[in-house]
Amino acid sequence: MHVINPKNVIKLNTLYQLYKNYDTLKQKNAPYYATFLTTMRTEYNIALEKCFYDRDFIFCKALEKFKNSYETSKSNVSQYCIARSCPDLPELILSSEFHNESLRTSKIDNDLIWTSYAQYLRGHSADTSEKYYNLKKLISLQYNLLMEKDDDEKYCVMMKILHDFFQYCKKNIRNSHLLFFIKEFIEEYYKKKKVVYEKIFEDCANTNSKPYCEQYNKCKREFQKEITLIRSGPENYINNKEEYFKNLAPDDSWIAKALAIFQDSAAMSKNSPTIMSTLVSIILLVFSLYKVLKFFI
């Protein structure tokens, strides 16, 4: 007897709701648009999370099929949408390794996403006030964005992601694993959104009336140097960080690795033998120095 997985039933229902919602717009016309937009956003985001959190490649491809079908045919119902323009769905990028259930995330990525992912597995929504929330959400969706209400809201989220990224890098700048994460973030996300970020930067340089400019100004106040550097080019940004890590003195690099272990509470449990051996080495070193100095005094 074949046992049906309840999770698969939920996923199928989510896809059904997406297709039903779109078909209803065609039938009920303009008066349904507000409901259509709310339902589309809710169901699409649920589907996107289930796709990546469950690592379900078949479901992801089914979601991608709906997205492509919608994007191809939405012009036929544009008269029922506001300003004769139906909303775009966010770009859906499925990594080539994904069907093998191989997340393309670095060590730091996994540490970042674990809290949000664990909450999802327990059936709880992630706390949006949680530190680095927007960055964690982006990484847990393998650098795919959720659908937002409009472009203004999307740009707000994108600026929050960039702020979280700069903030995380600043706090962990002495972590030897950080460079891998920086490269991945730039390659997998920022380069693909560079044109949109340039639009945000230009808009907010000329006016502060846009809602997302508040997030831009906050980011600029705290990370002016980083924004200037990343605007000069993604490759320049990566080269600058590579140069920083090259210039770390050997001793400094050793200390940085030790500090990284202590700073990362998630890594503490995984690296307890390393921590203990480091502590023992430090104690023995101090004791040896004491013995030597005592002899000469």
**What pLDDT is attached to residue 228?**
96
**What pLDDT is attached to residue 103?**
47
**pLDDT in single tens digits along all 297 residues of the chain:** 556 788 889 999 999 999 999 999 988 877 899 999 999 999 999 999 999 988 899 999 999 999 999 999 999 988 888 888 899 999 999 876 555 544 455 556 666 666 555 555 555 555 566 789 999 999 999 999 999 999 999 999 999 999 999 999 999 888 878 999 999 999 999 999 999 999 999 999 988 889 999 999 999 999 999 999 999 999 999 999 999 988 875 555 555 555 555 555 444 455 455 545 655 566 666 556 555 455 545
DSSP 3-state of 124:
coil
Domain spans in the chain, listed from the N-terminal domain onward: 1-102, 105-270
Query: What CA dihedral angle connects 191, 203, 90 and 43, to 10 degrees?
Result: 140
**What pLDDT is attached to residue 106?**
56
Q: Is the pTM of this model over 0.85?
A: no
Report the C-alpha gap between 145 and 90 in whole angstroms: 6
Q: Of 106, 108, 101, 127, whose CA–CA distance to 116 is shortest?
A: 127
E strands, the chain, where?
none
CB atoms under 10 Å from CB of 230, counted, come to 22
Residues 6+ apart with CB under 8 A from 97: 103, 104
